[in-house]
Structure 1
Amino acid sequence: MRDYDEVTAFLGRWGPFQRLVFFLLSASIVPNGFTGLSAVFLAASPEHRCAVPAAANLSAWWRNASIPRELVQGVEVASKCRRYRLDLLRDFSARGLRPGLDVNLSEVGTEKCLDGWTFSTDVYLSTIVSEWSLVCENDWKGPLASSLFFVGVLIGSFVSGQLSDRFGRKKVLFATMAVQTGFSIVQVFCTSWEAFAALFFIVGIGQISNYVAAFILGTEILDKSIRIIFATLGVCIFYAFGYMLLPFCAYFIRSWRILLLTLALPGLLCIPLWWVIPESPRWLITQGRTEEAEFILRKAAKQNGISAPAIIFDPAELQDLKSQLQSAHTYLDLFRTRDIRIITILSVLLWMVISVGYFGLSLNTPNLHGDPYLNCFLSAVIEVPAYIIAWLLLQALPRHYSMVGTLFLGGVVLLFLQLVPPDLNVISISLVMIGKFGVTSAFGMVYVYTAELYPTVVRNMGIGASSMASRLGSILAPYFIYLGAYDKFLPFILMGSMMVLIGIFTLFLPESYGRPLPETIEQTLKVKGIKYKLTSQSSRVTEENEYSPKVLSNTAL
């Protein structure tokens, strides 16, 4: 009995139809690069200090001395959250006393910023932090806004698979692009932090659902030989292009409302794609809509200049095809046997740590030394060679050694940051970028590696569970950066340590390179830890004959 790839092999691998689907689905990911990391500039915290109202009637001496100095990580800076008591300063000023000469400032009491704050406009004209004073006792609201976005991403990753299975890949793709674009535009008109955060949560739901739907649609339409390229050089590279455009736009648009509107509007350009991108024939078959699936395939054959066979789906094998593409398994099957249980636990930890490292380093770019726009652009640019390296490693080297190498590279350089002298900022930024390169390469490979570890019957659920763990990591990432307020090296030490540790654990995962894809839970690759030896070519051939694997199901790569 033929499988789906055999039935549709007449289309070829890389004709005009496949190229069009590849590039249009990849292009639909570009706005995700804007949205996913827009908080880097929307929620940036400008330099600030307590406001001293003109009504205080202070002399120039006392106005300049109204903010106390304090030590922050060994450096003396002006306080951001305290000022000297204005009633005392007003009295000293009226009596003609001078600060530091007639009055010992260390003996003058301090108070909170009762009249608000003055924010610097040297870097940002406005952000949600400066507009709604999300500093000092309210400084937790900035990271919370980012975390709520990623909470939406978590929920979106949970429901997107079910929605696309129920309503179709194409409908969910365009509906969630509309959610991402529409609610981003509504955010521009928010008058409170609470409304902004609530809408950011909804945007997060649309953002990941759009990404997942495009990813699934591409992997189901494209030939299995193209799926690894689509997963790395396709959606990932185009996401990086969107990410690169973010600091470019932010550099010329320093007001958060205009910037957000500018980033949201390109989503409208995806509307014409509705008439070009087809629905997944695989999904249509599972819904019994065989005629629609045949129409799409015949149209694709015509576009490729190929004559389609008179009968594409033989009625005798159609039911078998449907049973191959549908699954009756549950999430409990991810823990049924020892091997798949260990794979699930380690995959969940691996995805979570990679996500913490990736989003932690990405969101931290404004806190690095130097220009925040340049740092963000470098952080985006480094992703392009990272994904190219990921693709090359997937093509030529064992999976778990490639994963371990990139994780160790990223983790170790982050641990070395604390050893760099404070005056060598270029070296510090270079090490951060190397760390970002390592974790991004790991991110580019983990989709493919995880898909190869899980059997076909639970592959969709396995990737879904791992993806949800990744979203938990992205929720935690803003708070790793928040720890930098107490020690600037602490976020890097934590992220670096976690990446090295999970790299060691990854050695215990089985190797999937050159192995036939498991179809059933019983065929799950054996977990043999660091003693695992790559199967010889002859034994691989034997296993291929033994397993007789057929085809990747819905989300297989």
Structure 2
Amino acid sequence: MLPESSATNKAADYEAATSFLGEWGRFQQRVFFLLCLSVVPNGLIAFSIVFLADTPAHRCLLPAHLNLSAAWRNSSIPLEEEDSSRGGALVPSKCSRYKLEHVLNYSERGLLPGVDVNLSNVPKEGCLDGWAFDQSVYTSTIVSEWNLVCDESWKSPMTSSIFFCGVLTGSLISGQLSDRFGRKIVMFATIAIQAVFRFIQVFSPNWITFCALYFIVGMGQVSNYLVAFVLGMEVLSLHIRTIFSTAGMSLFFGAGYMLLPLLAFFVNDWRMLLLALMLPSCLCLPLWW
């Protein structure tokens, strides 16, 4: 460890060596605002999984070709007690239905559910034909696209965990990469990575592909932020870097964070939302010049 006096001298030498950059001239202002602007897409991406992987209301799908009476079609899903924290009301099951062979038999015989047939005695089965998802809020999410519910419900939180594993990996390697190749090169490379891999994500054919790409997006997201932060601390003057590191980066990241739900409100298909989230990163690339 350097003696305190030696460290102080080195800090003073650094300030003297970078004094030609000025205090708050056009160069400093431009660097300040453009570096802050480059982290807005990071705020947009950070918790996009909240909307991409939201779970719409759902129930077992009944094939349309089944010749069921209206009464049995409406009563084919068993009622289950909801979470006790919500009052314990009875709601349609999300993961089971009455066995269709029995339901068809009762329907063909003209028997009425709850009148001629005690529903508690009818055997149940899983959602063998998939699920019907409510589309009043979302046209599509990765959950409704790939049926990540019931036995597959663990995949939804796992998606978020994989993204943050990418964030952890990016945190560990971004500093070494920017030391080796330069802050600016790594910063714009990670902006490009976010844009390119998010675009590829739009065409994900399955959950595994989506997660693999999401891991890389997580690496790019945090690396962009960290390298931009360090670059600003190195280039900006002593007094300005304090504002940059506390208010500047945080407020611009927060601006992106606040824009996310607004964007998701108008774009309710997960693939289109990914495209919309990709555009801010593309708009940051010309800042290279």
Partner residue of 1:158?
A: 172
* Cα distance in 1 for residues equivalent to 2:244 and 2:110: 73
Residue 52 of structure 1 aligns with which residue? 62
Unaligned stretches of 5+ residues in structure 2: 1-8
Aligned amino acid, residue 86 of structure 1: L
In the alignment, what sits opposite 1:21? 31
Q: Structure 2: how far apart are the matches of 1:260 and 1:10?
A: 42
1:67 maps to 2:69? no
Q: TM-score, normalized by length of structure 1?
A: 0.48
What amino acid sits opposite 2:132 in the alignment?
A: T
Instruction: Trace 1:126-137 onto structure 2 (pairs within 5 A).
Output: 126-137=140-151
Distance in 2 of aligned mates of 1:135 and 1:38: 19
Q: Deviations over 1:193-229 (max 9, x none)?
A: 1111110011111111101110110111112222231
Asked if the contact 2:170–2:218 (Cα under 8 Å) also holds between the matched residues in 1, the reply is yes
Alignment of 1:116-515 (within 5 A): 116-275=130-289
Alignment partner, residue 80 of structure 1: 94
Q: What corresponds to 1:36 in structure 2?
A: 46
Partner of residue 3, structure 2:
none
Structure 2 length-normalised TM: 0.92
Question: What's the offset of the Cα at 1:107?
Answer: 1.2
- Aligned-pair CA distance for 1:252: 1.3
- Superposed displacement of residue 75, structure 1: 2.7
Residue type of the alignment partner of 1:8: T
Letter paired with 2:63 = P
Shift of 1:163: 0.4
CA distance in 1, matches of 2:40, 2:233: 18
Contact kept in structure 2, 1:184 and 1:260, CA below 8 Å: yes
Amino acid at match of 1:6: A
Q: Does 1:96 align with 2:96?
A: no
Q: What amino acid does structure 1 have at the position aligned with 2:184?
A: K
Tell me how far 1:259 sits from its aligned partner. 1.1
Separation (CA, whole Å) in 1 of partners of 2:182 and 2:20: 24
Please tell me the root mean square deviation across aligned C-alpha atoms, in Å: 1.2
Following superposition, the deviation at residue 244 of structure 1 comes to: 1.7
Are 2:18 and 2:235, in contact at CA under 8 Å, matched by a contact in 1? no
Aligned to 1:49, what secondary structure does the other structure show? strand
Deviations 1:150-195 (A, max 9, x none): 1101100000011011111111100011101100000011111111
- Counterparts of 2:242 and 2:90 in 1: how far apart (Å)? 52
Query: What amino acid maps onto 2:256 in structure 1?
Result: G
Question: Shift of residue 118 of structure 1?
Answer: 0.1
The answer to whether the 8 A contact 1:56-1:86 is kept is no
Offset from partner CA, 1:486-516 (integer Å, 9 cap, x none): xxxxxxxxxxxxxxxxxxxxxxxxxxxxxxx
Paired residue secondary structure (1:70): strand
Q: Partner of 2:197: helix, strand, or coil? A: helix
CA contact (8 A) 2:202 2:274 kept: yes
SS of the counterpart of 2:132? strand
Counterpart residue type for residue 180 of structure 1: Q
2:65 aligns to what SS in structure 1?
A: helix
Provide runs of 4+ in structure 1 moved above 4 Å: none
| Structure 1: segments with no counterpart, 5+ residues | 276-557
User: Percent of pairs identical after alignment?
Assistant: 59
CA deviation string 1:57-96 (max 9, x = no partner): 2110001001111112223211100111111111111111
Q: Distance in 1 between matches of 2:35 and 2:26?
A: 14
Deviations 1:15-39 (A, max 9, x none): 2211111100000001111111111
Q: How many Å separate the matches in 2 of 1:54 and 1:268?
A: 44
Q: Matches of 2:273 and 2:21 in 1, distance apart?
A: 44
Task: Show the counterpart of 1:451.
Answer: none
